[in-house]
A = this chain, B = another copy of it.
Amino acid sequence: MKALVYEGVETLVYREVPDAVPQQGEHLIRVEAVGICGSDMHAYLGHDSRRPAPLILGHEAAGVVVGGPHDGKRVTINPLVHCGTCASCKAGRENLCPERQIISMPPREGAFAQHVAMPWGNLVEVPDHVPFAKAALAEPLAVSWHAARLALEALHPAMHRRALVIGGGAIGVAAALALSAMGVSDVTIVEPNDLRRHFLQKLGETPVTSKASGMYSIVVDAVGFSATRAVASEHAQPGGVIAHVGLGEDTGGLDVRRMTLQEITFIGTYTYTAQDFRQTAQAIFDGALGALDWIEQRDLADGAEAFAALQSGSVAVPKIVLSPWA
């Protein structure tokens, strides 16, 4: 099969690789759409030691089951494989499973390829009216759904719900949509990149600003750099909650003194539970997360150019989705 292979820092090559082979209990999926994630970009830049070259990246995929009892079913893929038996899995927190694996991280190859193999439990069936490119958004949208849910669960019930989302990439846009779907009517996105901000402003789903101002009971840091955490801890209202999604920089940025004096809660969030993923997929199918027309489709064969464009800051849309069969 063809795949986009990460072969070293800033080097992606579209080439022939051995076919994906389903292991016991797994199904082969013909990948129809696969999104580029910030963490793929992180790996591409050589910043993620968990993803050493050579490796097939990509973990936001939807496609069609090939062969077996589910042959022909349209599915979106929960890329997080868990043990199912540990205390975290039993508590419904599969994202904390110590044995967790994710496609695009060894030992599992990713979905920037024509096929990928997954257990049935990781697949959610997609209705015919939902295109694959939107179904592939279930993964990034679930990340944000999870962060939004944790933030709302942690928020004191007496507090007015007013949210700031830092970052207008897919995770930020999705966090705003998830908060809105969960009943938070007052949400603002901060996005300093002019190109992307103007795109989102034209889209008109959520107010977008270039610089944070005011105070918010909920702040989602959908970037995860020291500078964005500084913004988060400056603009979180006393008694408020910061949900932190990104892995941009390992440390720094938080004003711990202010967070202590003003009792601000900071929640590290990673991926999603299996239930978050299913609920997010359902919300997509129901249209509860908007039209999802903030994606751009390109060919997987042109993946290297797409990564370079994202890195240069010249991409207006929050999400590029690649197609392996163009």
How many angstroms between the C-alpha atoms of A246 and B257 in the bound complex?
Answer: 9
A201 within 8 A of B: no
How many angstroms between the C-alpha atoms of A269 and B250 in the bound complex?
Answer: 23
* Stretch binding the partner chain, chosen from A125-133, A258-266, A278-286: A258-266
How many angstroms between the C-alpha atoms of A244 and B255 in the bound complex?
Answer: 13
Q: A256-B229, A257-B250 are in contact. Are A91 and B263 (CB under 8 A)?
A: no
Minimum CB–CB distance for A255 against chain B, Å = 6
A238, closest chain B residue (CB): B96
A90 interface neighbour in B93, B154, B158, B264, Cβ under 8 Å:
B158
Minimum CB–CB distance for A161 against chain B, Å = 13
A95 interface neighbour in B90, B244, B263, B270, Cβ under 8 Å:
B263
Minimum CB–CB distance for A172 against chain B, Å = 15
A254 within 8 A of B: yes
Q: Mark A222-240, 1 if CB is under 8 A from B, else 0.
A: 0010000100000000110
Contact A245 B260 (CB under 8 A): yes
How many angstroms between the C-alpha atoms of A215 and B98 in the bound complex?
Answer: 13
Contact B256 A251 (CB under 8 A): yes
Contact A91 B268 (CB under 8 A): no
Contact B238 A88 (CB under 8 A): yes
Q: A254-B254, A256-B229 are in contact. Are A96 and B262 (CB under 8 A)?
A: yes
Q: Could you say how many copies of this chain the assembly holds?
A: 2
Which of A98, A253, A266 counts the most chain B CB atoms within 10 A? A266
Minimum CB–CB distance for A79 against chain B, Å = 15
A87 within 8 A of B: yes
Interface size on A, residues (CB 8 A): 45
Minimum CB–CB distance for A142 against chain B, Å = 14
How many angstroms between the C-alpha atoms of A156 and B95 in the bound complex?
Answer: 14
A256 interface neighbour in B90, B96, B98, B250, Cβ under 8 Å:
B250
Contact B261 A250 (CB under 8 A): no
Contact A252 B263 (CB under 8 A): no
Contact B266 A158 (CB under 8 A): no
Q: Mark A262-298, 1 if CB is under 8 A from B, else 0.
A: 1111111110000000000000000000000000000
How many angstroms between the C-alpha atoms of A261 and B263 in the bound complex?
Answer: 23
Task: Identify which of residues 115-159 in chain A touch chain B, using a CB-to-CB cut-off of 8 Å.
Answer: 150, 154, 156, 158-159
Contact A262 B270 (CB under 8 A): yes
**Residue numbers in B under 8 Å from A249 (CB-CB):** 256-257
A247 within 8 A of B: yes
Contact B224 A260 (CB under 8 A): yes
Please, could you name 17 A-B residue pairs with CB atoms under 8 Å apart, sorted by A? A91-B158, A92-B158, A93-B158, A96-B239, A224-B256, A244-B256, A246-B260, A247-B260, A249-B256, A249-B257, A253-B256, A254-B256, A260-B268, A260-B270, A261-B270, A263-B269, A265-B266
Binding site for B on A (CB under 8 A): 87-88, 90-93, 95-96, 98, 150, 154, 156, 158-160, 224, 229, 238-239, 244-247, 249-270
